[in-house]
Amino acid sequence: MNAQIPPVAPTVQPVMRTTCPYCGVGCGVLASPDGAGGASIAGDPDHPANFGRLCSKGSALGETLGLETRLLHPMARGRDGRMARADWDTAIGSIAQAFGKTIETHGPDAVAIYLSGQLLTEDYYAANKLAKGFLGTANVDTNSRLCMASSVAGHRRAFGSDTVPGVYADLDEADLVVLIGSNAAWCHPILFRRLEAARAMRGTKLVVIDPRRTATGDEADLFLPVNPGKDTVLFAGLLAWLADHDALDHAYIDAHTTGLADTLAGARAMAPDIAAVARETGVSAADLVQFYTLFATHERAVTCYSQGVNQSAQGTDKVNAIINVHLATGRIGRPGMGPFSLTGQPNAMGGREVGGLANQLAAHMNFTPVEIDRVRRFWQAPRLAEREGLKAVAMFEAIAAGRIKALWIMGTNPAVSLPRAGAMREALESLDFLVVSENVASNDTLSCRPHLVLPALAWGEKDGTVTNSERRISRQRAFLPPPGEARPDWWAIAQVGRRLGFDEAFAWRSAADVFREHAALSAFENDGSRDFDLSGLAMLDDAAFNIMAPVQWPVRSAGDSADKRFFADGHFFTPDHRARFVTPKPARLARETSTDFPFILNTGRIRDQWHTMTRTGLSPRLGAHLPVPFVEIHPSDATKLGIEHGGLVSLRSAHGSAVVEARLSVGQKRGALFAPIHWSDATSSNARINDLVARITDPVSGQPESKATPVAAMALPVRYRGFVLSRRPVTELPATWWAKVALEGGAGYLTATDLGPEEWKRHTAKILLTSDYAEYVDAPGGVYRAAAFDEAGALTGAVFLSPSGAPASWDGLKALLAARTLSSVGRRNLLSGRGEGQITPRGPLVCACFAVSAPQIEQALASESGADVARLGQLLRAGTNCGSCVPELKKLIRQRAMLDMATITPPA
Amino acid sequence: MSEPLIVIGNGMAAAKFCEELANQGLGRYSVAVIGAEPHLAYNRVLLSSLLAGEVTAGDIELRSRDWWRARGVTLIYGRPAISVDTDQNRVNLADGSSLGFSKLVLATGSHPIRLPIPGMELPGVMTFRDMADVDALLAAAKPGTRAIVIGGGLLGLEAATGIAGAGVQTTVIHLMDRLMERQLDARAGALLRQAVEARGIEVLLGASTAAIAGEGRVEGLRLSDGRLLLADLVIVACGVRPNADLARAAGLDCNRGVIVDDGLATSHPAIHAIGECAEHRGQVYGLVEPAYEHARVLARRLSGKSAAYAGSVTATNLKVSGVHVFSAGDFTGGEGTQDIVLSDPGIGLYRRLILRQDASGTRLIGAVLFGDTADGLFYLDLIRTGRDIGGERADLAFGPNLMTDLKTTEAA
């Protein structure tokens, strides 16, 4: 590969400004199409979310643009049960007929639509309008329910509206930033870089609160390892401390809020003294006092929170416990202050804005009679839903129970992501009618026997808007033509609406048409009564929509491009315009550990993957960071269970099971485990972590308790470990366990098996798709290796098997899969496991952007003592692009420093 | 006054012995070498190359006439020794002359085996053992001629390759189910068959010869299954037997070969035997390397130094039909042994290493290499020294070059 981040060079193709499709930071991207279906990618220096920076995932977007895995035509299940190509007209007709007939027979609540934070606002708007206005059901929910529903609910309880009060610039201007339940260094890397820059500039203090010490925790001035589920106690203690130390803003409280007395009493009951808080939270009294003192003495304080707060059966209470301390100190909506929800998805915010959740109606309006009436009039809707629909988990329970009979899934993979993911599949397969709009041709959800599959546009082809965590609406622009017969989701929805007879309501010709209507609805009879207001954008013509610059809402007048904060003036969107203090319930996990399930399983993301990997999984660079599904466990817990680093572990909950690799980490609390959510049946044999998670939800937000499942862990000894490299996907592996990862030139499979060399030898021809291959067999030593070559002599595939205790590394080999040729020496030595030109063991990749490995960094540090992050950047380029590996670089620097000290200290 | 030392035989063992002796104790002996063939000693291993036209007769001479002269060796060739008088310590030559000795070294080599079947005496039945055979074969091998080679061992295959290269339509028939079964395992034998066939040579395995057919001259070969193969030439290359004729006639203890002890001494204290004619600890060697070891040990002993021969770990390291093959030690493996096999048919590579693992460690006891034999000596050394290779097991099949390659690459 050439430079990872090619400069934006002048080309024949125009450079397109668009927005990254990953996390809620919403970074601006410059895409330069190469005219052959690909594009080079760079950060947009003019975008206010990222100012030109991109993280590892964003930087690798260009590697994910191919059409190999794409669905390009509608496919319908025939009478014989097989999927066959269909035309759009037939497809639209069958949806209209299935949904119409189901509603006719079983009522509107027998149909549902399940959406995604990946959709554009326009898609979301169209789906919400069709369901709530014309099908007559509010059974419209989204995978955002799994992501930030608790924030929405917490906002609405406190503010009367789902309003993020602050802006990213608050991170630049704060003196104290508290990150709770957020591994921003990995999950919101660009914001974290921004925070790091502010810390370097003004010495911003960073407090990180998390049950596990992540890359983010490693960077903190103060790290508080809170017990799972006890965040509320920590913040109740803070509220009480602030009251006791005369740190409340009584003027603000009196003028703009209600309910402090009750809430403070509740906080004192929950956190009677520091010792009690320390006991409950597992944080030392000294650290608590330090945190509380920091908060009391730093007015410019921002509290950022993410899935560690939201994904909880008490997520809404946690959100309100955080908001409470900001309301009580009046630290909200002013520069450098406020509670700040960091959303996980690129357009979770857009979905919230259109009302694409079962408990919202539309455009930040709810199911009150006045609002129902208003929306009905605006849409001229014949059959407006008049009550909340089923939230995601309840929706799938209704599917399993047969109450919902027809479902339309768009842009999400619930067979992987929902709690009890395994049971989800059975539910999906039981539907009378399942239609899935997808851009990939296969994933776990598409394996659930849908009746119809519609080809959706992917990033780079879609056109519309997204909203990031700071309420900034940015354009996602198409820079590639629609492939095959893929069409926008809003278009497909509109076609169904029209087929059902609602021509006028679904007459849009473009995304701009949809956006204007969406903006107009936000403005409709608003007059400042609702926070969400795009009056100023409702009249944008197509040309203006095309060049629309990123803008924060509300946009109450045309041309208003200012950044806005909410609530400094104390005007809230409750009936009395006062904010509410909310008293959280006693903090406890929904399910405690037991002798059968002695560990608490936490789940989350890793740095270089996204959701179920249908896109990031295509990038070899991103796959190199953490290539296999794993569980982090404290070394002393591991020792007790006979679990070794890199060994397999079987995880089991009351609902499901998974098999993953063990990673021993002192950052993990004893008794607590962490496993990433990304792997599916498409990428691993048995690592769908959400299969273990219970369907227990927050009573207010409906968000599941994804981060605290009681589980059992057991060492799973296998006799052999190995890997398979292949230019083509491998369908038959004689392995009991495998994980797939993208490699340059093909795919890699890391395997574990009890089958020995002789058995693998019998399968080799099937795996390598040839009977002509080189072999290395040391059967008594438990070693088997094979490799196949093309006519030019280049490697087309390889099989490596070793005893578990001495696994071979593929680092030296995998580069050969992409090579066009192979020297005779290279070929002869290939089965030794050492690749040509890759002789130095490369070890784990640290910097994904420039493919810099840990051994390379260690070598640089060894040869230049005292090298810092900046110097490493000069030497190896590591950390100079996205910077998300900077924490790991620092860790290596610290390790080296300790090693240096050890070597210069004379032995006692 | 120098002691008279006579060497009977003017082959590779004799030449090496003279060289070693000259290095050790020049002047102590007055050396005479008696050879039956009318040539200077030549490299018998290269006869196949001579047959194939790759080298000339001059090229395969081991040492020049001047070399021998400079070392004071009297060369008597073209005059075979016909008997040894162990009472008088004299050697009688075919021309009636005789020579006395204080030390006699028998280096008489081997005879080609001729089959006890009808028709072996017919004109057109040939062997492939010495320079005269090569000359005869070259004279007979004309394009369009049909030849059958009996014997799929090294010599047979070399003869077949040589005459096939001259345009002769060649068939090799072999009694066993694979070629070179004494040097190669089944898989290497099969690979070799492919390589031989790729040169246009037909190979018949498990084929037993019943008779040579023909009236007055070879016309064909009849197999024991009754099939008649037509041929103008039959080359018998079924192996060799030690030439112990003189020793046996002289009353020395003989078995298959002339029996020698660790000092290469026969049952007569003044008479020694080296090379293919010698039988040491029940073992007869048909290879150059043991013969050279014999020569070295004996030269030291006859120079008054201490040396003993304890047997050879034999290795075959050859180019057969243009393909390199190597085998050493116990390459058949079996009970109590472990195999490591590396193969890449696409580049004609096969190697099998046989290990024995016990409480004291892991040792290499045998190796078969096909295609690329560059590492053969490395393995032979491991087999000979019996070094524990347990720690290097993973790299073993890739040879010492892997380590060299590593260093080169890292430095680059």
pLDDT of amino acid A881? 66
pLDDT(A266) > 70: yes
More confident residue, A610 or A153: A153
With beta carbons less than 8 A apart as the criterion, state whether B339 and B348 touch. Answer: no
Mean pLDDT of B348-372: 92
Looking at residue B192, what DSSP letter applies? H
Q: Is A820 on the interface with B (CB under 8 A)?
A: no
Q: Is A758 on the interface with B (CB under 8 A)?
A: no
Q: Which residues of A touch B372 (CB under 8 A)?
A: 828
Q: Is A70 on the interface with B (CB under 8 A)?
A: no
For residue A791, give the chain B residue with the closest CA.
B346
Residue with tokens 């795996």: A767
pLDDT(A68) > 70: yes
pLDDT(A844) > 70: no
How confident is the model over B87-100, as pLDDT tens digits? 999 999 999 999 99
| φ, ψ for residue B90, nearest 5 deg | -130, 155
pLDDT of amino acid B45? 79
How confident is the model over A293-313, as pLDDT tens digits? 999 999 999 999 999 999 999
Q: Is B54 on the interface with A (CB under 8 A)?
A: no
Cα A839-A842-A844 angle, rounded to 5 deg? 160
Among A741, A476, A738, A723, CA closest to A606:
A741
Q: With CB atoms and an 8 Å threshold, state whether A834 touches B406.
A: yes
Q: With CB atoms and an 8 Å threshold, state whether A774 touches B346.
A: yes
pLDDT(A642) > 70: yes
Among B161, B267, B157, B173, CA closest to B220:
B173
Mean pLDDT of A86-108: 97
CA distance A123 to chain B (A): 55
Name the residue among A774, A778, A825 with its Cβ closest to that of B343.
A774
Name the residue among B342, B346, B372 with its Cβ closest to that of A776.
B342
Of the pLDDT bands very low, low, confident and very high (cuts 50, 70, 90), residue B62 is confident
Residue with tokens 């979770």: A348
Mean pLDDT of A860-867: 85
Work out the percent of chain A whose per-residue pLDDT is above 90: 78
For residue B357, give the chain A residue with the closest CA.
A780
Query: Which of the four CATH numbers 3.30.390.30, 3.40.50.300, 3.40.50.1820, 2.60.40.1080 does domain B322-411 have?
Result: 3.30.390.30
Q: Which residues of A touch B194 (CB under 8 A)?
A: none
Helix (H, G, I), strand (E, B) or coil at A593: coil
Within B144-183, residue ranges assigned H as helices are 154-165
Work out the percent of chain A whose per-residue pLDDT is above 70: 96
- The residue extents of the domains of chain B are 3-111+241-302, 125-236, 322-411
Q: Is A88 on the interface with B (CB under 8 A)?
A: no
Q: With CB atoms and an 8 Å threshold, state whether B344 touches A772.
A: no
pLDDT of amino acid B315? 78
Q: Which residues of A touch B409 (CB under 8 A)?
A: 837, 839
Residues 828-887 (A) with a CB less than 8 A from some CB of B? 828-829, 831-834, 837, 839-840
CA distance A291 to chain B (A): 51
pLDDT(A905) > 50: no
Q: With CB atoms and an 8 Å threshold, state whether B402 touches A776.
A: no
Helix (H, G, I), strand (E, B) or coil at B355: strand
Name the residue among B346, B372, B409 with its Cβ closest to that of A839.
B409
CATH fold match for the domains B3-111+241-302 and B125-236: yes
Q: Which residues of B touch A828 (CB under 8 A)?
A: 344, 347, 349, 372, 398
Bridge partner residues of A433 (DSSP): A406
Cα B120-B121-B122 angle, rounded to 5 deg? 95
Q: With CB atoms and an 8 Å threshold, state whether B338 touches A781.
A: yes
Work out the percent of chain B whose per-residue pLDDT is above 70: 96
Q: Maximum distance among all alpha carbons in chain A?
A: 88
pLDDT(A834) > 70: no
User: How far from chain centre, in Å, is Cα A521?
Assistant: 29
Which region, left, alpha or beta, applies to residue A762 given φ > 0 means left and ψ of -120 to 50 means alpha? alpha
Radius of gyration of chain A from its Cα atoms, rounded to whole angstroms: 27
Q: With CB atoms and an 8 Å threshold, state whether A827 touches B343.
A: no
Name the residue among B338, B344, B410 with its Cβ closest to that of A780.
B338
pLDDT of amino acid A13? 60
Report d(CA A612, CA A616) in Å as an integer: 8
pLDDT of amino acid A843? 55
Q: Which residues of B touch A776 (CB under 8 A)?
A: 340-343, 397
With beta carbons less than 8 A apart as the criterion, state whether A341 and A469 touch. Answer: yes
Looking at residue A835, what DSSP letter applies? B
Cβ-based neighbour number of residue B287 at 10 Å: 18
Q: Does domain B3-111+241-302 have CATH number 3.40.718.10?
A: no
How confident is the model over B161-171, as pLDDT tens digits? 889 988 899 99
Name the residue among B340, B347, B402 with its Cβ closest to that of A829.
B402
Of the pLDDT bands very low, low, confident and very high (cuts 50, 70, 90), residue A5 is very low
User: In chain A, what are the domains?
Assistant: 75-147+347-552 (3.40.50.740), 149-341 (3.40.228.10), 599-693 (2.40.40.20), 720-832 (no CATH), 845-904 (1.10.10.1100)
Q: Choose, out of A771, A777, A827, the residue to mutate when testing the contact with B (most B CBs < 10 Å).
A: A777
Of the pLDDT bands very low, low, confident and very high (cuts 50, 70, 90), residue B283 is very high
pLDDT(A10) > 50: no
Residues 232-271 (A) with a CB less than 8 A from some CB of B? none
Q: With CB atoms and an 8 Å threshold, state whether A777 touches B405.
A: no
For residue A773, give the chain B residue with the closest CA.
B344
pLDDT(A453) > 90: yes
Q: Does domain B125-236 have CATH number 2.40.30.40?
A: no
Report d(CA A446, CA A11) in Å as an integer: 39
pLDDT(A362) > 90: yes
CA distance A748 to chain B (A): 22
Report d(CA A698, CA B24) in Å as an integer: 97
Report d(CA B33, CA B42) in Å as an integer: 14
How confident is the model over A464-477, as pLDDT tens digits? 999 999 999 999 99
Q: Which residues of A touch B405 (CB under 8 A)?
A: 825, 829, 839
Mean pLDDT of A277-289: 97
Q: Is A795 on the interface with B (CB under 8 A)?
A: no
Report d(CA A696, CA A673) in Å as an integer: 19
pLDDT of amino acid B183? 87
Question: Among positive and negative, which fits the CA dihedral B174, B179, B180, B181?
Answer: negative
Mean pLDDT of A118-145: 96
With beta carbons less than 8 A apart as the criterion, state whether B52 and B94 touch. Answer: no
Report d(CA B315, CA B382) in Å as an integer: 12
Of the pLDDT bands very low, low, confident and very high (cuts 50, 70, 90), residue A2 is very low
Report d(CA A669, CA A210) in Å as an integer: 10
Mean pLDDT of A693-706: 93
How confident is the model over A388-407, as pLDDT tens digits? 999 999 999 999 999 999 99
- Residues belonging to chain A: 908
Q: Which residues of A touch B395 (CB under 8 A)?
A: 832
CA distance B224 to chain A (A): 37
Residue with tokens 């045998």: B366
Helix (H, G, I), strand (E, B) or coil at B30: strand
Looking at residue A214, what DSSP letter applies? -
Of the pLDDT bands very low, low, confident and very high (cuts 50, 70, 90), residue A603 is very high
Mean pLDDT of A660-664: 94
Report d(CA A777, CA B341) in Å as an integer: 5
Starting at the earlier edge strand, list the strands of the sheet with B220-223.
Answer: B209-213, B220-223, B228-230
Among A625, A557, A533, A561, CA closest to A851:
A625
Q: With CB atoms and an 8 Å threshold, state whether B406 touches A839.
A: yes
Question: Among positive and negative, which fits the CA dihedral B330, B334, B338, B340?
Answer: positive
Report d(CA A735, CA A830) in Å as an integer: 23
pLDDT(B409) > 50: no
pLDDT(A740) > 60: yes
Tokens of A765: 């021809």
Mean pLDDT of A753-768: 93
pLDDT of amino acid A893? 87
Cα A23-A28-A34 angle, rounded to 5 deg? 110
pLDDT of amino acid B322? 74
Q: Is B276 on the interface with A (CB under 8 A)?
A: no
pLDDT(B192) > 60: yes
Report d(CA A668, CA A651) in Å as an integer: 16
Least confident of A21-25, A105-109, A278-282, A833-837: A833-837
Mean pLDDT of A834-842: 45
Q: Which residues of B touch A772 (CB under 8 A)?
A: 345-346
Work out the percent of chain B whose per-residue pLDDT is above 90: 66
Q: Is A768 on the interface with B (CB under 8 A)?
A: no
CA distance A127 to chain B (A): 58
Q: Which residues of A touch B397 (CB under 8 A)?
A: 776, 778, 831-832
The set of long-range contacts for A52-55, using a CB threshold of 8 Å and a minimum separation of 24, is A53/A27, A53/A190, A53/A193, A53/A881, A53/A882, A53/A883, A54/A5, A54/A20, A54/A27, A54/A29, A54/A190, A54/A881, A54/A882, A55/A22, A55/A27, A55/A189, A55/A190, A55/A882, A55/A883, A55/A884
Report d(CA B306, CA B29) in Å as an integer: 18
CA distance A853 to chain B (A): 17
The string of DSSP codes covering A679-717 is --TTTBSS--GGGTS---B-TTT--B-TT-EEEEEEE--
pTM of the model: 0.82
How confident is the model over A550-561, as pLDDT tens digits? 999 999 999 898
For residue B348, give the chain A residue with the closest CA.
A774
Least confident of A700-704, A784-788, A842-846: A842-846
pLDDT(B63) > 90: no
Q: Which residues of A touch B345 (CB under 8 A)?
A: 772, 774
CA distance B165 to chain A (A): 28
Report d(CA B187, CA A765) in Å as an integer: 19
Tokens of A60: 């690798």
Extended strands (E) in A105-249: 111-115, 140-142, 176-180, 205-209, 222-224
pLDDT(A883) > 80: no
CA distance B344 to chain A (A): 4
Q: With CB atoms and an 8 Å threshold, state whether B346 touches A772.
A: yes
Mean pLDDT of B174-188: 92
How confident is the model over A509-539, as pLDDT tens digits? 999 999 999 999 999 999 999 999 999 999 9
More confident residue, A91 or B323: A91
Q: With CB atoms and an 8 Å threshold, state whether B405 touches A775.
A: no
Mean pLDDT of B247-265: 97
Residue with tokens 């005879």: B111
Radius of gyration of chain B from its Cα atoms, rounded to whole angstroms: 23
Q: With CB atoms and an 8 Å threshold, state whether B349 touches A776.
A: no
Q: What is the ipTM of this complex?
A: 0.81
pLDDT(A6) > 60: no
Of the pLDDT bands very low, low, confident and very high (cuts 50, 70, 90), residue B241 is very high
